[in-house]
Chains A and B, each alone.
Chain A
Amino acid sequence: MEMDIPRIELAGIAPEIALTVAALVILVVHAVLGNRFSTWYLPYLATLGLVVAGALAVIVWDVNDLQLSGMIALDNFATFVKVSLAVFGLLTVWLGRDYLTRDRLEESEFYALVLFAVAGMMLMAAAADLIVMFLALETFSIALYVLVAFKRRSTEAQESAMKYFLLGAFSSAFFLFGIALAYGAVGTTNLYSTGPEADSLFRFASAGPSTDLDLLVLAMGLIIVGLGFKIAAVPFHAWTPDAYQGAPSPVTGFMAAGSKIAGFAALIRVLDAILFPLRWDWRPLVIGIAVLTMIVGSVLAVVQEDVKRMLAYSSIAHAGFVLVGVVAANDRGVSGSLFYLATYGLTVVGSFAVVSILAGPGEHRTRLTDYRGAFYQRPLLAGALTLFLLALAGVPVTSGFVAKLVVFGAAIESGYWWLVVIGVLASAIAAFFYLRVLVVMYMQEPIEGVEPAPSGGWLANGVVAITAATTIVFGLAWGPLIDAAEHARFFVAGG
C-alpha cells in the first residue's frame, strides 16, 4: 500500500531554521567553551546566523507559493518583513554586545533569545494559518519576556517583565479565542485555499452575503484585540511604557522595532488580504483604535519625564499612524505601512542605542533631566538623537516624514482624509515632546560636577551611525525602499 506524503519544502521557513540552529549552536558552544573570548565569538555567531537568515529570505524574492501543507506563505510581503527583521536583529546583537560587556550581564542567553525572537517574528510574517501565527507569536513573546527581565538584579526590570508577561499571556488568550471562533465559523484555521475543495478564511469571507459571517466577525474582533496588544495600540497599550522602561535599552529598541513589524505583518495579512471582503465590518473598529492610539499616545508622551517611557508612548502613537495605513486597505496602504514599519524600526533602534549609551553603566540616567546640555558633552550622539527624534516627529529630510507621507497618502486615496487630519494634529502634539528633549539637550547647561557617561563601544557607535545614515538616506532617496515595499505583495492563489 502506498500513501501520500505532503511535499516537504523548506524554503519558506529556511531563515527561521537558520536562526534556530544558530541559537542552539550559540548555547552549546558557550556551554562547551565557557566564558573565555565569549564576547568575541558569540556576537560573530549571532551575526552569522542573522546574515544567513536574511540571505535565505532574500533569495526567495518574487516566489509566490504556499508551503508545508499550506501553513507557510512564501510571498514578497513575508520576505520584506523578514529582511527588515534580520536587520533589526543584527543591530540589536551589535548594540547588545557593548551593552552586555558594559553592564556585565550573561551573554549566550541574550544572543540565543534574540535569535529565537527574530525567528518567531519572521514566522509571524509568513504564517498562512492562524495556528502557525499563534505559535510564532508565542515563540517571540516568550523570548521577549525573558529578554525584558534580562537585568535580573534590577527590580525595575523584574517588575516590567512581570507586567509584560501577564498582559502578554492575557492578550494571547484573546487571540487564541479568536482563532477558536474562526475555526468554528469556517471549519479550518487556514488563511488561503490550496485546492478546489479546501476551505479557507479567505474563501469563506469572499463567498458573499449568503454566508453567515457573524461568528467570523466576532472572531476577527478578538484577533484584532490580541494583535492590538502586540503592536501596542490603545486601549491595549498598558504594558508598553513599563516594559520599555524596565527592559535593557537594546531590548527595548528591538521590541519597538521587531515586535511592532511582526504584529503588524500578521494584522495586515489578516485584515488587508484575507478579510479584505469584510473591510466594512472591521474598519470602524480599527479606525476607532487608530484614532485613540494616535491621540492617547501623543498626549501621554508629553507629560513623561523619563526618556525611555516617552519613547514608549511615542511608539504607541506610531502604531496609530501605521493603523491609518492599515485602514486604507489599498496597495499604497500595505506598502506604506511596510515602509513605515521598516524605517520606524531603524530609527527607534537608533534612538534606543543613543539612550543606552547615554544612560551609562547600569542604565541609571534615563530621565529627561539627565540629558541637560548633552549636546555640549556628546555632540555627535546628541546630534544623532536629534535626527532620530525629528524623524519620529515626521520632519522632512528624514525617513519618518516619508513614512507619514505614504501612509497618510494611502488613507487619502481611500477617502479617509478626515482620519489624516486627526493624524497630522496628533503628530503636531507629538512634536511637542520631541522638542522638549531638544530643549533639554541644546538649550540648557550641563549639570555641574556630573561626568558625562562613558562613550559607547565601537559597535554601539556603529549602530548609531548606521541607523542615522539610513534615517537620512530613506528620507531623501526613498525610491528603492518604497519600490521594494510596493512589490511586497501577498500570496495570490494561482498567481
Chain B
Amino acid sequence: MDLSWLDAAIFAPLVGAVAVAIVPSRNLSTLRLVALASTIMTFLLSLGILVDFEAGTPGFQLTTSLSWIPEWGVGYKTGIDGVSLWMVLLTTFLMPLAVLASWSITRRAKAYFIFLLALQTGMTGVFSSLDMFLFYLFWEATLIPMYFLIGMWGYDRRIYAAMKFFLFTLVGSLLMLAGILFLYFAAGDNPTFEYQALLGTPLALDAQRLLFLAFFASFAVKVPLVPLHTWLPDAHTEAPTAGSVMLAAVLLKMGAYGLIRFAIPFFPDAARELVPLVMTLAIIGILYGALVALVQKDLKRLIAYSSVAHLGFIVLGMFVGTLQGMSGGILQMVNHGLSTGALFMLVGALYDRRHTRLIADYGGLARSVPIMAGVFLFVALSSLGLPALNGFVGEFLVLVGTFFGYRWWVIPAAFGIVLAAIYLLWAYQRVFHGEPATEANRAMADLNVRELVMLAPIVALIIFIGVYPKPFLDRIEPSAERLVQQLKQSSVVPGGGVAEGP
C-alpha cells in the first residue's frame, strides 16, 4: 500500500479521537492535552504534504488509489492539487488553535473533542477525495459532528440553529447525491465514481443544466450564496467558538471548493450559461452581507454576515473566468479562513470574560485590554483588505480578474470593500473605544498566554501572506489556470447522453 502524508493527515485525527475516547472523562486537562497533541501531530504530518508537493504543476499529487468496492467502481482515491493543498493546510493549521479556543468547554469535554477531531477528518477528506463516493462520504461526515457541536455546546437557540444547519445542508447534498448517481450512469458501460474518469463525461445540455443545478444547490447552501444563506447567521452565532471558527474558516470553503472542483469541470457548458446568474448572486451576497452586517447588534452575527459578503467575493473571482480572479478567489479562501477564524476567537475570548455578545454591552475596552484591542484591529484590517496584509492580495486579484472579465461588475464589488471597512471599523470603535457600558468592562483581563499562543500564528501568517504571497500563488496558479481552462471547455453532446428507460 502506498499511502502518502495526505492519507496520514486525513486519518490522524481519528486516531486522536480514539485516544481521547480512552482518557477518563473526569480528567479534563488530560483530555485537552491529548486533543491538542493530536491536532499538532496532524499539523506536523501535513507539513510533510507541503514538502512533498511540487510547485508549478497543475495535476493531482500525492495520490493514493486503493480498491474498495470494485463491484460498483468505488475506490479510495485521494490526491491534492494547488487548490486543495492550501485548504488541507488551512484545516490542519487552524485545528490546534480551535482546540486552544475550546478551553472554556468543561461540560462533556470528551464528547466535544471527539466530535471536533471527527470533524477534522471529514474536512480534510472532502478536500482530498478524488472519488465521488468517498467525497460524498466525507462531505456528509462533516455534517454530523458539526450538528452535535452546535446542538450540545452552543448558546441559547442552539437546537434551532443545529437543526436548521443540518436540514439546509442535507437537502442540498441529497440533490447532489442524485446528481452524482446520474453522472455515474451517464459515464458509460463501466460505471465508476472516480473523479478523473467522470471528467468530460458527454452530456446533453439540458441534462447538464439539471445536474449543475443539483450540484450547485448543495454547494451554494454551503458557501452560502444569498438567498440560501439563512442558516449561516444562526449556526455561526449559536455555535461554540471552535465551531464558529471551523465553520467559517473551513466548512464554508467546502462549498466554494466544490463549485470549482466539481460543478464547473463536470458541467462546463451549463456553468458558462449560468455565470451571469452566479455572479449576480455573488454580488448580491457581497452587498447584502455587508449591509446587514452594518446593522447587527450581536458581534458574532456581524462576523457571520461579513462571511456572507466575503464568500460572495470568492465566488465572484471563481466565476469571472480569468486566472487572476480564480487565483485571487482561492487565496481569498485561505485569507478569509485566517481573519474570520481569528475574529471568532477574539469574540469567543470576549464572551468568556463577559458572557455577552452584544456590542452595546462593551465599549472602552481599549484601556483595560490593550493587547486584545490591538489584535482585533489588526485582524479587522486584514479582513477589510488593508495593503500589506493578506486580505489585500486576494481582494486585489479578484478585482483585477473581474475587471478583465466583466468590466462593470467591479464597481459593486469595490463598493462591498468600502462597506466592509465601515462595518468592521465601526464595530471595533463601539467595542474598544468610547465609554464602557458597565464597570465590569474596566476590570476585564487582557489576553492570557493561551490566547496569545492561539492568535500569534494567525497574525504571523496574515503578515506573511500580505508581504510575500509568492509561495502561495506559485502553488495555486497552475491549478487555477487549469480550472479556468475547464470552464472554457465543452462536453456537450447534442441529443443523447441522458439515460433513457429500457
Residues of A near B177 (CB, < 8 A) are: 405, 408, 424
Contact with B along A404-428 (1 / 0, CB 8 A): 0110110011111100110011011
- B residues with a Cβ closer than 8 A to A are 68-72, 136-137, 139-141, 143-144, 147-148, 151-152, 158-159, 162-163, 166-167, 170-171, 174-175, 177-178, 181-182, 184-185, 499-502
Q: Is A443's CB under 8 angstroms from B166's CB?
A: no
Q: Is A443's CB under 8 angstroms from B159's CB?
A: yes
Q: How far is the CB of A189 from chain B (nearest CB, A)?
A: 28
- Identify 19 residue pairs between A and B in the complex whose beta-carbon atoms are under 8 Å apart, listed by A's number: A396-B136, A396-B139, A397-B141, A401-B140, A405-B177, A406-B72, A412-B499, A413-B185, A414-B501, A414-B502, A424-B175, A424-B178, A425-B174, A427-B174, A428-B170, A428-B174, A432-B163, A477-B69, A483-B71
Residues of A near B159 (CB, < 8 A) are: 439, 443
Report, as a range, how many residues of chain A touch the other chain: 35 or more
CA distance A14 to B177 in the complex (A): 43
Q: How far is the CB of A320 from chain B (nearest CB, A)?
A: 15
A435 within 8 A of B: yes
Q: How far is the CB of A424 from chain B (nearest CB, A)?
A: 4
Q: Is B140's CB under 8 angstroms from A417's CB?
A: no
Q: Beyond the given A412-B182, A415-B499, A421-B175, could you list 13 further A-B residue pairs with CB under 8 A, ordered by the A residue number?
A: A330-B502, A396-B141, A397-B140, A408-B181, A409-B184, A414-B502, A417-B499, A428-B171, A435-B163, A442-B148, A443-B158, A443-B162, A479-B72
Q: How far is the CB of A398 from chain B (nearest CB, A)?
A: 10
CA distance A249 to B417 in the complex (A): 61
A251 within 8 A of B: no
Q: Which residues of A from 462 to 495 have beta carbons under 8 Å from B?
A: 477-479, 482-483, 486
Residues of B near A427 (CB, < 8 A) are: 174
CA distance A396 to B167 in the complex (A): 15
B158 and chain A: residue at smallest CB distance: A443
Residues of A near B500 (CB, < 8 A) are: 415
CA distance A406 to B133 in the complex (A): 12
A296 within 8 A of B: no
Q: Is B170's CB under 8 angstroms from A405's CB?
A: no
CB contact under 8 A between A435 and B181, given known A330-B502, A413-B499, A482-B69? no
A112 within 8 A of B: no
Residues of A near B152 (CB, < 8 A) are: 442-443
Q: How far is the CB of B77 from chain A (nearest CB, A)?
A: 16
Residues of A near B68 (CB, < 8 A) are: 479
B136 and chain A: residue at smallest CB distance: A396
CA distance A413 to B499 in the complex (A): 7
CA distance A179 to B136 in the complex (A): 45
Residues of A near B148 (CB, < 8 A) are: 442
Q: In the complex, which of the residues A414, A416, A428, A483 has the most CB atoms of chain B within 10 Å of its own CB atom?
A: A428
Q: How far is the CB of B416 from chain A (nearest CB, A)?
A: 33
Residues of B near A479 (CB, < 8 A) are: 68-72
Partner pick for A405 among B139, B147, B181, CB 8 A cutoff: B181
Q: In the complex, which of the residues B68, B139, B181, B500 has the most CB atoms of chain A within 10 Å of its own CB atom?
A: B181
Residues of A near B185 (CB, < 8 A) are: 409, 412-413
CA distance A330 to B502 in the complex (A): 9
CA distance A443 to B111 in the complex (A): 13
Residues of A near B69 (CB, < 8 A) are: 477-479, 482
Q: Is A432's CB under 8 angstroms from B167's CB?
A: yes
A431 within 8 A of B: yes
Q: Which residues of A from 379 to 400 have beta carbons under 8 Å from B?
A: 390, 395-397
A279 and chain B: residue at smallest CB distance: B502
Q: How far is the CB of B461 from chain A (nearest CB, A)?
A: 33
Q: In the complex, which of the residues A405, A414, A482 has the most CB atoms of chain B within 10 Å of its own CB atom?
A: A405
- A residues with a Cβ closer than 8 A to B are 330, 390, 395-397, 401, 405-406, 408-409, 412-417, 420-421, 424-425, 427-428, 431-432, 435, 438-439, 442-443, 477-479, 482-483, 486
- Majority SS at the chain B contact face: helix
A482 and chain B: residue at smallest CB distance: B71
Q: How far is the CB of B1 from chain A (nearest CB, A)?
A: 16
| Top 10 A-B pairs, shortest CB-CB distance | A415-B501, A424-B174, A396-B137, A479-B69, A396-B140, A428-B171, A443-B151, A412-B181, A409-B181, A413-B185
CA distance A377 to B140 in the complex (A): 28
Q: How far is the CB of B218 from chain A (nearest CB, A)?
A: 11
Q: How far is the CB of A395 from chain B (nearest CB, A)?
A: 6
Residues of B near A405 (CB, < 8 A) are: 177, 181
CA distance A482 to B178 in the complex (A): 20
Q: Is B140's CB under 8 angstroms from A425's CB?
A: no
CA distance A477 to B72 in the complex (A): 12
Q: Is B163's CB under 8 angstroms from A416's CB?
A: no
CA distance A478 to B182 in the complex (A): 21
Q: In the complex, which of the residues B72, B137, B167, B175 has the most CB atoms of chain A within 10 Å of its own CB atom?
A: B72
Q: How far is the CB of B502 from chain A (nearest CB, A)?
A: 6
Partner pick for A439 among B163, B171, B182, B499, CB 8 A cutoff: B163
Q: Is B178's CB under 8 angstroms from A420's CB?
A: yes
Q: Is B501's CB under 8 angstroms from A416's CB?
A: yes
Residues of B near A414 (CB, < 8 A) are: 499, 501-502
CA distance A390 to B144 in the complex (A): 9
CA distance A420 to B184 in the complex (A): 14
Residues of B near A420 (CB, < 8 A) are: 178, 181
Residues of A near B181 (CB, < 8 A) are: 405, 408-409, 412, 420
Q: Is A395's CB under 8 angstroms from B499's CB?
A: no
Q: How far is the CB of B343 from chain A (nearest CB, A)?
A: 27
CA distance A405 to B136 in the complex (A): 11
Q: How far is the CB of A279 from chain B (nearest CB, A)?
A: 9
CA distance A405 to B191 in the complex (A): 14
Residues of A near B140 (CB, < 8 A) are: 395-397, 401
CA distance A483 to B177 in the complex (A): 22
CA distance A432 to B136 in the complex (A): 20
CA distance A486 to B71 in the complex (A): 9
CA distance A428 to B68 in the complex (A): 28
Residues of A near B184 (CB, < 8 A) are: 409, 412
Q: Is A431's CB under 8 angstroms from B170's CB?
A: yes
B186 and chain A: residue at smallest CB distance: A412
CA distance A435 to B185 in the complex (A): 32
Q: How far is the CB of B119 from chain A (nearest CB, A)?
A: 14
CA distance A442 to B150 in the complex (A): 11
CB contact under 8 A between A412 and B178, given known A395-B140, A482-B69? yes
Residues of A near B171 (CB, < 8 A) are: 425, 428
Q: How far is the CB of A330 from chain B (nearest CB, A)?
A: 7
Q: In the complex, which of the residues A420, A424, A442, A486 has the most CB atoms of chain B within 10 Å of its own CB atom?
A: A424
Q: Is A397's CB under 8 angstroms from B137's CB?
A: yes
CA distance A438 to B162 in the complex (A): 11
Residues of B near A477 (CB, < 8 A) are: 69
CA distance A438 to B166 in the complex (A): 12
Residues of B near A395 (CB, < 8 A) are: 140, 143-144
CA distance A48 to B4 in the complex (A): 49
A383 and chain B: residue at smallest CB distance: B111
Q: How far is the CB of B14 from chain A (nearest CB, A)?
A: 12
Q: Is B151's CB under 8 angstroms from A439's CB?
A: yes
Residues of B near A409 (CB, < 8 A) are: 181, 184-185
A432 and chain B: residue at smallest CB distance: B167
Residues of B near A483 (CB, < 8 A) are: 71
Q: How far is the CB of B473 from chain A (nearest CB, A)?
A: 35
B134 and chain A: residue at smallest CB distance: A396
Residues of A near B141 (CB, < 8 A) are: 396-397
CA distance A414 to B181 in the complex (A): 12
